[in-house]
């Protein structure tokens, strides 16, 4: 299977640069796998497409404000803190990476500096900071880790509070993600209450979004790709609720691709096993889903692992047809964009 088989044309103006004023006013495309019918709605209609007894599974990981800027050799560089090794050492992604050389100093603020102690692939660097509470300081000066296709001025302090609020789900709880589980950005407390009143069970799991979720692909073959690991956690109560639903023949509806990967990774061949683990599960067409029946998801980048995941659930041809229709009808794409419900 070729990576190019998951390509599509997207006019740049359809990439959403700002969220809509109301979270639940996003458009929602319905893709029915059985009938192959594609229809057009709004997210606030979501409860009408769910049935009493369904289990709606949310990823409650909270995004950290780990995007920041530092000065290296009098040049401004953008940094994304990816992983803490110790209280004062971290892995970062940097742009432009060529100036961030081993041995050089990075000045983030009057009270936060770091030395580059090693260099990795694709702009990765390991930094040693001058203080032990580096995460607390990064959270104080950091910005929402928006993807590069959402354009912002460097260190735009006026925009910062807005993005910190809107690039976060209303139900986020456990800190740990370096990108938002974006399918959840459409939910409001009102919608959640309406869903619960309808007899639909909400279940919370955690998958901390890391580099693997938006890892660039190399080569030409889909099957040769390998994803990095991400941490996920499923409570005993969540596992029991999902296992009961599967036993009773009720639908498990995943909110977002990260939720899908957590659930499918936790399945041991018979049931969901609770606990804390890591996953490098790469889902692409041919994969047999064991847990997830339906999926709410945003629109994904061409040739991405996430587009392959949704194609595994709904079929590549149907998904590419849906994306062509979304472009034709001027849907808003990617993190701050519209969504799709695959039934």
What stretches of 137-251 adopt beta strand conformation (E)?
174-177, 201-207, 230-234
Three-state SS at 207: strand
User: What does pLDDT average to over the chain?
Assistant: 97
Sketch the domain layout of the chain as residue ranges: 3-63+168-342, 67-142
Q: Could you tell me which residues come within 8 angstroms of residue 119 by beta carbon, excluding any fewer than 6 positions away? A: 100, 101, 102, 125, 126
> Which pairs count as long-range contacts for 309-312, CB under 8 Å and 24+ apart, including other chains?
309/257, 309/260, 309/261, 309/283, 309/284, 310/257, 310/340, 310/342, 311/6, 311/284, 311/285, 312/283, 312/284, 312/285, 312/286, 312/287
Q: Could you tell me which residues come within 8 angstroms of residue 267 by beta carbon, excluding any fewer than 6 positions away? A: 273, 290, 291
Structure confidence by residue, pLDDT tens digits, 313-338: 999 999 999 999 999 999 999 999 99
**Same CATH topology for 3-63+168-342 and 67-142?**
no
149: which 2 tokens? 């296709």
Structure confidence by residue, pLDDT tens digits, 255-270: 999 999 999 999 999 9
Q: CB–CB of 334/298 below 8 Å?
A: yes
Nearest to 59 by CA among 227, 173, 212: 173
Question: What are the CA-CA distances from residue 14 to residues 10, 31, 183, 331, 338 (Å)?
Answer: 7, 20, 17, 7, 10
Instruction: Determine the CATH number of domain 3-63+168-342.
Output: 3.40.1780.10
Q: CB–CB of 116/40 below 8 Å?
A: no
pLDDT at res. 215: 74
Query: What is the band of 305 on the pLDDT scale with cuts at 50, 70, 90?
Result: very high
In angstroms, rounded to a whole number, what is the distance separating the alpha carbons of residues 140 and 234?
A: 30
Structure confidence by residue, pLDDT tens digits, 16-60: 999 999 999 999 999 999 999 999 999 999 999 999 999 999 999
Nearest to 282 by CA among 306, 301, 299, 298: 306
Is the model's pLDDT at 289 over the cut of 80? Answer: yes
The size of the chain, in residues, is: 343
Nearest to 187 by CA among 124, 255, 120: 255
Structure confidence by residue, pLDDT tens digits, 166-221: 999 999 999 999 999 999 999 999 999 999 999 999 999 999 999 887 777 888 99
318: which 2 tokens? 């149907």
Q: CB–CB of 78/99 below 8 Å?
A: no
How many Å separate Cα 190 from the centre of its chain?
Answer: 23
Query: Which stretch of DSSP H or E encloses residue 96?
Result: none
Region 70-80: what's the mean pLDDT? 97
Q: CB–CB of 80/67 below 8 Å?
A: yes
pLDDT at res. 122: 87
Q: CB–CB of 16/339 below 8 Å?
A: no
Structure confidence by residue, pLDDT tens digits, 89-132: 999 999 999 999 999 999 999 999 999 999 998 899 999 999 99
The CATH class of the 67-142 domain is mainly beta
The model carries a pTM of: 0.96
Q: CB–CB of 129/90 below 8 Å?
A: yes
Cis preceding-peptide flag for 96 (omega within 30 of 0): yes
In angstroms, rounded to a whole number, what is the distance separating the alpha carbons of residues 63 and 84?
A: 15
């Amino acid at each position: 299977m070729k990576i190019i088989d998951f390509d599509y044309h997207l006019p740049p103006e359809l990439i959403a640069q700002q969220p809509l004023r109301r979270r639940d006013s996003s458009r929602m495309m319905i893709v029915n796998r059985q009938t192959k019918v594609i229809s057009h709605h709004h997210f606030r209609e979501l409860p009408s497409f769910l049935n009493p007894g369904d289990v709606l599974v949310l990823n409650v990981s909270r995004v950290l404000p780990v995007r920041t800027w530092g000065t290296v050799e009098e040049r401004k560089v953008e940094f994304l803190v990816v992983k803490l090794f110790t209280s004062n050492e971290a892995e970062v992604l940097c742009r432009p990476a060529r100036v961030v050389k081993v041995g050089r100093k990075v000045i983030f603020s009057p009270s936060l500096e770091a030395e580059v102690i090693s260099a990795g692939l694709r702009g990765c660097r390991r930094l040693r900071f001058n203080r032990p509470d580096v995460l607390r300081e990064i959270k104080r000066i950091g910005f929402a880790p928006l993807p590069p296709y959402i354009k912002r001025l460097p260190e735009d302090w006026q925009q910062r509070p807005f993005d910190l609020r809107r690039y976060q789900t209303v139900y986020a709880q456990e800190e740990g993600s370096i990108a938002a589980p974006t399918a959840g950005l459409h939910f409001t407390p009102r919608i959640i209450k309406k869903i619960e009143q309808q007899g639909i069970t909400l279940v919370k799991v955690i998958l901390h979004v890391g580099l693997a979720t938006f890892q660039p692909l190399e080569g030409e073959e889909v099957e040769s790709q390998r994803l990095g690991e991400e941490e996920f956690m499923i409570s005993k109560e969540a596992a029991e609720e999902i296992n009961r639903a599967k036993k009773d023949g009720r639908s498990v509806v995943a909110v977002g691709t990260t939720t899908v990967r957590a659930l499918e990774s936790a399945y041991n061949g018979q049931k969901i096993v609770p606990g804390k683990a890591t996953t490098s599960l790469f889902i692409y067409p041919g994969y047999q889903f064991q847990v997830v029946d339906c999926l709410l998801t945003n629109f994904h980048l061409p040739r991405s692992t996430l587009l392959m995941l949704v194609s595994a659930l709904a079929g590549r041809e149907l998904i590419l047809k849906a994306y062509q229709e979304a472009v034709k009808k001027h849907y808003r794409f990617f993190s701050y964009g519209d969504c799709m419900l695959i039934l």
